[in-house]
């Protein structure tokens, strides 16, 4: 069966939106809106899988919304909302808790990393998190999901869940007139030179919100001086830049900075190296500072302006939630019929 093409993605409101979120996800969100109907969600239900200070969670939810707007997502054409305003996410996640297998979740590397040695003491929500993520996507029967590389395994799980639901309920799906499959197999969109932006302090670690050193990342709200300082201090090696991509192998810090430059400039690593091959890092970093400030500076200023007006931000989220609810409500009605829940008509 052909499904209507639709994009869905989410970002957690857990503070410090950084260059990795921007290049790995948000720039893709912006680009896709020209060709698809898109739904972009601030995933506050996901955020509380780890304890969040309530006023800060609200602030962060509005800040991620501000980032979506400042980066250029059009809230009239597309849907921007926060997850907790659409109850169907949690409702479908429960059904998926009963579809997904324990063994599948046990394989999730992100859970293992996040739980670390303290496994007995993390929330059940953190463990079941990928099922909620599958519900986020599939409650809109979304077909395309732009994400960074770190979400690939979660996307594979979402595909497995969709598939198992379709098989487990095949007869009922057919009987209710949905053909062979009720849920699509959502396609991850993981493309370009910066699908996994690394820490500026250590090229073997992902750039992340939770890394203690602020010098490891560029935050979207950093001012020009801070961006310049962080780029200048970024770890490098003593060699000049190579002229071919091949020369970036085994040079993770160089590879990362070249990837960042390429993504910010909307080009490829090969093109960047053909310009900077043979240059010292001091020269390349100056160019990277200029480019980063030119691209991120206006976004940071716009975000700071937008968060001053929570009433406006909340109105965007309310409008988006209402439109998202209309779609999610239809899906949930169908799911209830398919699963065999008696419901009000
Ligand atoms: P989150 O909030 O950790 O990150 C948001 C997006 O940013 C991407 N990202 C990166 N990309 C490249 N390099 C990095 N260093 C980097 N760090 C983060 C992430 O891959 C993500 O695309 N589970 C998701 C949120 C989520 C979601 C969903 C995504 C919930 N439901 C449904 C897609 C569809 C997460 O924690 O992303």
User: Domain holding 253: CATH number?
Assistant: 1.10.240.10
- How many residues belong to the chain? 345
pLDDT at 322: 98
Q: Whose CA is nearest to atom 16 of ligand 1?
A: 20
CATH number at 132 reads 3.40.50.620
CA distance 215 to 201: 7
pLDDT confidence bin for 118, thresholds 50/70/90? confident
pLDDT tens, residue by residue, 236-252: 999 999 999 999 999 99
C-alpha angle 48-50-54 in degrees, rounded to nearest 5:
50
Asked whether residue 71 falls in the same domain as residue 154, the answer is yes
Task: Verify that 38 and 71 share a domain, yes or no.
Answer: yes
185 and 290 in one domain? no
Instruction: Summarize pLDDT for 38-58 with one digit per residue, the tens.
Output: 999 999 999 999 999 999 999
Express each pLDDT in 270-299 by its tens digit. 999 999 999 999 999 999 999 999 999 999
Is residue 138 domain-shared with residue 221, that is, in the same domain? no
- How close is the Cα of 152 to the center of ligand 1, in Å? 10
Per the structure, the complete domain to which residue 121 belongs is given by 6-195+310-339
Query: Residues 33, 91: one domain?
Result: yes
Same domain, yes or no: 293 and 314: no
Q: What is the pLDDT of residue 217?
A: 97
292 with 319, same domain: the answer is no
Ligand 1 centroid–CA 238 distance in Å is 33
The burial class, CB within 10 Å (0-12 / 13-18 / 19+), for 105 is middle
**Are both 33 and 159 inside the same structural domain?**
yes
Tokens of 234: 């970024």
Cβ pair 129, 49 in contact under 8 A: yes
Determine, yes or no, domain membership for 345.
no
215 CA to middle of ligand 1, Å? 20
- Tell me how far apart the alpha carbons of residues 169 and 180 are, in angstroms, rounded to a whole number: 10
Same domain, 177 and 146: yes
pLDDT value of residue 87 = 98
Same domain as 113, residue 161? yes
What's the structural domain count of the chain?
2
The residue to mutate among 15, 21, 184, having the most atoms of ligand 1 within 8 angstroms of its beta carbon, is 21
Q: Do 264 and 235 fall within a single domain?
A: yes
| DSSP helix/strand/coil, 19 | helix
- Give how far Cα 336 sits from Cα of 118, 186, 342, Å: 37, 21, 7
Residues 110 and 218 occupy one common structural domain:
no
Tell me 87's DSSP state: T
User: Residue whose CA is closest, atom 31 of ligand 1?
Assistant: 133
């Amino acid at each position: 069966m052909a499904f209507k093409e639709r994009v869905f993605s989410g970002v957690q409101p857990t503070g410090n939106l950084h260059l990795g979120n921007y290049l790995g996800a948000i720039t893709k969100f912006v680009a896709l809106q020209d060709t698809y109907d898109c739904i972009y969600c601030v995933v506050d239900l996901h955020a509380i899988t780890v304890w969040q200070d309530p006023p800060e969670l609200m602030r962060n939810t509005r800040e991620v919304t501000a980032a979506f707007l400042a980066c250029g997502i059009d809230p009239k054409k597309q849907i921007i909302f926060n997850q907790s305003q659409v109850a169907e996410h949690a409702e479908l996640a429960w059904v998926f808790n009963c579809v997904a297998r324990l063994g599948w979740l046990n394989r999730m590397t992100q859970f293992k990393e996040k739980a670390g040695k303290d496994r007995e003491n993390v929330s059940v929500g953190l463990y079941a998190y990928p099922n909620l993520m599958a519900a986020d996507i599939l409650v809109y029967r979304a077909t395309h999901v732009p994400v960074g590389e770190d979400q690939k395994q979660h996307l594979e799980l979402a595909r497995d869940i969709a598939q198992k639901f379709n098989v487990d309920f095949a007869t009922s799906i057919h009987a209710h007139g949905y053909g062979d499959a009720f849920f699509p197999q959502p396609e991850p969109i993981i493309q370009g030179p910066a699908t996994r932006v690394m820490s500026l302090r250590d090229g073997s670690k992902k750039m992340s919100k939770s890394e203690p050193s602020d010098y490891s990342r560029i935050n979207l709200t950093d001012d020009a001086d801070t961006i310049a300082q962080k780029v200048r201090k970024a770890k490098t090696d003593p060699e000049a830049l190579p002229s071919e991509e091949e020369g970036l192998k085994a040079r993770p810090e160089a590879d990362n900075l070249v990837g960042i430059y390429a993504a910010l400039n909307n080009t490829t690593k090969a093109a960047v190296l053909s310009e900077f091959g043979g240059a010292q890092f001091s020269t390349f970093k100056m160019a990277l500072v200029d480019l980063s400030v030119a691209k991120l500076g206006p976004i940071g200023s716009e975000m700071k302006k937008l968060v001053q007006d929570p009433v406006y931000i909340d109105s965007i989220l309310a409008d988006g939630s209402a439109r998202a609810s209309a779609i999610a409500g239809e899906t949930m009605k169908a799911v209830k019929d398919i699963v065999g829940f008696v419901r009000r008509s």
